[in-house]
Structure 1
Amino acid sequence: MSDIGVRTVVYCGQHRSHADEFELWPGVTVRPVLPFNMDGGDPYQAPIYHLARIIDILRRGADESDAVYVHDSNLRFEFIASGKPLVRGVFDLFYPHTLAGVIQSGDARLVANSDYVGNCIKEALRRFRTLGDNALRVVNTGFQEPRFRPGNVNQMRDRLRLPEDALPILYPHRPDPTKGIFESLAVVQLLRKRLHADQFRSVRLLVSVWEDFEPGQGIEGLGEPYPTVFRQAAELGIADKLHLHSWVPRHDMSNYYALGAATLSIGTFPEAFGHVHVESMLSGTPAITSRVAAYRTTVPEELARKVDPTDVEAAADQLVEVLGRRERTGAPLQDHLRDKFGFERMLDGYSHAFFDHAEAREGPFTGVSVPVAAGTRLRIPPWAAALDSGYYNDYSGYAMDKRLEECLPFILASTTVETLKERTSVSESDILRWLRNGHLLSLNS
């Protein structure tokens, strides 16, 4: 924003190590002065006089500004905008503060960071309010492509103390069950029977450690989840394949990605965008992703390697192909990533979202949802998908419902409640249950 002459003031939580104000960049001032609870947990768990002070500070800031932007939609006091244009960025649909901000967006303009998030917002809010033409923008996350051109890969190998003959499989996520750490361990274990013994001997799964960590250090002294991860690896007989290393700074990530033979992003966390797979592919390293949330739609199926959630057998098969071919990302995929997720394109999108003067007035509330009628149309929501492995909901997993699976061909072809009941054995109570569980959407004529 400063490059186009916009003066920005960033307000954030108080931090003992910073002064009241500092210049982050020419034209960008940071004021870490808001007395939120900064000790973990709910930031709003603070004395009421601190919350009142936050409101006072932000009202003065808004009064001195032309527009107000709330990052990740996590401010509960939107009235501080004092009539100025208010923009809320939406970077997930998982954490409570973001969900509350989206639901209560009022006259704010919402900016979703992916097509997936934008579609989910539209379908969720449609139940109780309409969205005006200017109320929601989708600005896909952008990447500075030159930053992902690898430099000295050998230096990265030395820094991680990785053996010269090691075949690195990357897991550049926090070691959280929903991020796919245990699926990744299972995939490595399955490689034992799929690779030649000499090649399997070289395989290493690279896992970063958030705490202070020296290369070659054991897990002694590390907190959870690392001991649990190591125990699982030992039970699978692949403890020697687990290579822990210290956190890699952002400016070195291109070399880290380029070092890998492949990147695994096979968790079940409902990512709103998911940076890792795009960054890896921009760096030349194929990524294997699960068909969950934004991973399902960010890159077309024909350009990327995808597997159904928790399908470690398919992930192992994909990985064997990548290793056997010594595969790197091809030109069509690179072109797609540069075109759709270019950094300049993202900046242009945010610029329009901030400074386009078209109003984003709150749409009228719709009538209270009525029970399904014979003519009610049923469809699959953007947070769910009919996959080869079953019907999958990004927030609750596989539906495991034979009746629902029986109905999918009709629902995919667009059907009404009446037609579905005539052609299948389902009852209205089945349909109501699927609607309550978020497996289906209803649309009354």
Structure 2
Amino acid sequence: MKIVGFSINPLFPDRVIGGSAKHQRTVLTHLGELGHDVTVLCTRHPEAHPFRWHENVEVLPVLPFKQPFPEPYAVPAYQIAEIIQAVGDRLATADRFYMHDGELLVPFLYRNVPTVISLRDNVYPETILGSFLFSADTLIAIAEYSRQVYLHTAGRFLPELPQRAITINNGIDFGQFRPGPPSRAICDLVGIDPEQHFVVLHPHRPEPTKGLRQTIAVADALVHQYGCTSLRVLVPRWYDEKIAPDVRAFYQEALETIATRDLSKHFIFHEWIPQSLMPDYYRLGDVTLVLGSFVEAFGNVAYESLACGTPAIVARVATHRSLLPDNLIAKVHYDDNAAAAALAATIWREGTRTSAETMAYLHANFAIAQQLQAYARAILNAQKVPAAPTRVVPLGAQTSYVLAPWCYTWGDGMVFHDFAARHEREPLLSDLIAAHPGGFTPAQAGAASADAATVDRWYRAGYVVPK
């Protein structure tokens, strides 16, 4: 079978930039191993030339999307036309089309080819718009949380989306991501002796929502409140830093904050970690922090870290609320840095590692073999079906509203909103959700003293959505 793959990001033969690209490589290489002829079209990059991930998987970095990210479509119209031509030429003889991340915003290109789209994030505008432009045959969400986000947004206008959208959790290669001592290579790369330090990992992209501010606050408490003078926090520097002024500014601001808090000797900014060394990187750590507000579609870091034996502390944001039960991973409310620091201090004192119960749950639910088999079934068995119908249902007195899947209630009337990254006290809303978990109408809200203007405010702020 001839399969065409698509990535709006550059791909490389010898390094992986982010979890999304790693899973794309794994899935498409698996299809090549099954004997299928796979061609992957991706964004060109000054360093990139055609290469192969497998004898049956060729990667062609030929698409002139803007680099560096974001705003990949900020190119002249003739280059958009070049992209459409390049993809269209390949699809003319393709049996299947697999679009990784849903960011090719030209649905007519694949109207005649069975197409599977995997949405890999809940934040970037190209992916979000791609979900509303969905015109493929199957949509893959990489966590049930993300599927619910798509169903409660784009799904309001695409009534067949529930039947076309499936969940395939990201998988972990437990042959690589497993407990053990870190290699000398990783210790030399980051310049640290783990026997001499309490090592905190912050293995994230340089974006404010990825939680570096929170990691710095936790480090401050560990050193100055808990007396952890052996602390070393490891932060990878972005591979494209030299050509990305905003990234350089991000690091400079972070370094100034670290210096102001008298933490400079406790932070190590090191080069980007090759994918081959990531298991060793996790093993090097004593705890991995995932405390940002980024609305992850899955969030690989915490679970790969756990698989390597290193505990993770996550903020209750997006998928991290539900991927693992509360008793199997440490969770804190977003921006509760004191609670995160207290958990990290306990790990420092007690030498805590991943529990046997957590490890068993990971192996039962996130094995890479399960992921690859599910992707192969979805892509190879995809059938061309009529274009997804659309509808717009007017809102009115009979509309039933539910708490949006990107929100949760907690404490005394508190509501957290993933996309706003904010806790608000909304006791009336909290009480309504508790009284009507299956949805409430404006009349039911009125009976509970929430007038039409209040319900409208909740709707426009994204706290509630039509059922």
> Same fold judged by TM-score > 0.5?
yes
1:441 aligns to 2:453 (yes or no): no
Q: Which 10-residue stretch deviates more, 341-350 or 10-19?
A: 10-19
Contact 2:137 2:382 in 1 (8 A): no
1:178 and 1:289 mapped to 2: Cα distance? 13
1:276 to 290, 298, 301: 301
Within the candidate set 10, 33, 37, 2:62 is matched to 33
Between 1:326-335 and 1:168-177, the stretch displaced more is 168-177
Which sits farther off after the overlay, 82-91 or 230-239? 230-239
Match of 1:93 among 104, 118, 122: 122
- 1:79 and 2:103 matched: no
In 1, Cα distance between equivalents of 2:430 and 2:111: 50
Distance 2:268 2:67 in 1: 33
Which residue of the other structure, out of 218, 232, 235, is the alignment partner of 1:187? 218
TM-superposed CA distance for 1:363, in Å, is: 4.0
State the match for 1:167 in structure 2.
198
TM-score (norm 1): 0.89
The answer on whether the counterparts of 1:150 and 1:255 sit within 8 Å (CA) in structure 2 is no
Q: Determine the structure 1 residue equivalent to 2:233.
A: 205
SS of structure 2 residue aligned to 1:36: coil
> TM-score when scaled to structure 2?
0.85
Post-superposition offset of 1:46: 3.1
Q: Which residue of 2 aligns with 1:397?
A: 421
Compare 362-371 and 63-72 and name the one that shifted more: 362-371
Secondary structure at the counterpart of residue 405 of structure 2: coil
User: How far 1:410 sits from its partner (Å)?
Assistant: 2.6
Q: Is residue 165–residue 202 contact of structure 1 (8 Å, CA) maintained in 2? A: yes
Establish whether residue 227 from structure 1 lines up as the match of residue 257 from structure 2.
Answer: no
Q: Does the CA contact (< 8 Å) of 1:109 and 1:360 recur in 2?
A: no
Give the direction of change, closer, same or farther, for the CA distance of 1:174–1:29 in structure 2 (3 Å limit). Answer: closer
Q: How does 1:296-445 map to 2 (within 5 A)?
A: 296-371=321-396, 373=397, 375-388=398-411, 390-398=414-422, 400-402=424-426, 403-405=428-430, 407-412=432-437, 414-423=439-448, 425-443=449-467
Residue type matched to 2:210 in 1? Answer: K
Equivalent-residue separation in structure 2 for 1:267 and 1:39 (angstroms): 22
CA separation of 1:180/1:411 partners in 2, compared to 1, >3 Å: closer, same or farther? farther
Partners of 2:239 and 2:54 in 1: how far apart? 29
Q: 2:290 matched to which residue of 1?
A: 265
Deviations 1:1-48 (A, max 9, x none): 1121211111123345445x4433111122223333346553333333
Is 1:137 the equivalent of 2:162?
A: no
**Change in CA separation of 1:192 and 1:419 when aligned onto 2, cut-off 3 Å:** same
Q: 2:207 aligns with which of 171, 176, 191?
A: 176
Quick one: structure 1 residues 413 and 244, their matched pair in 2 at CA, closer, same or farther if it must change by over 3 Å?
same
Which of structures 1 and 2 has the bigger CA Rg? 1
Unaligned residue ranges in structure 1 (runs of 5+): 214-221
**What residue identity is the alignment partner of 1:397?**
A
Relative to structure 1, the CA distance from residue 401 to residue 151 in structure 2 (aligned partners, 3 Å threshold; closer, same or farther) is: closer
The answer (yes or no) to whether the contact 1:135–1:361 under 8 Å persists in 2 is no
Q: CA deviation at 1:301?
A: 1.1
Deviation at 1:212, TM superposition (A): 9.5
- The range that moved more, 330-339 or 408-417, is 408-417
The equivalent residue for 1:63 is: 92
Unaligned segments of structure 2, at least 5 residues: 1-30, 242-246
> Which residue does 2:5 correspond to in 1?
none
Q: Decide whether aligned partners of structure 1 residues 276 and 139 sit closer, same or farther in structure 2, where only a CA change above 3 A counts.
A: same
Q: Equivalent residues in 2 for 1:122-133 (5 A)?
A: 122-131=151-160
Partner-residue secondary structure (3-state), 1:126:
helix
Q: Give the letter for the 2:353 counterpart.
A: R
Which stretch shows the higher mean deviation, 28-37 or 83-92? 28-37
Alpha carbons 1:132, 1:360 under 8 Å: kept = no
Q: CA deviation at 1:411?
A: 4.3
The offset of 1:82, in angstroms, is 4.7
Residue 152 of structure 1 and its aligned partner are, at CA, apart by: 4.7
Q: How many residues align?
A: 428
Assess, with a 3 A threshold, how the Cα gap between structure 1 residues 40 and 173 changes in structure 2: closer, same or farther: closer
Counterpart amino acid of residue 185 in structure 1: I
* Alpha-carbon distance between aligned partners in 1 of 2:367 and 2:405, rounded to the nearest angstrom: 24
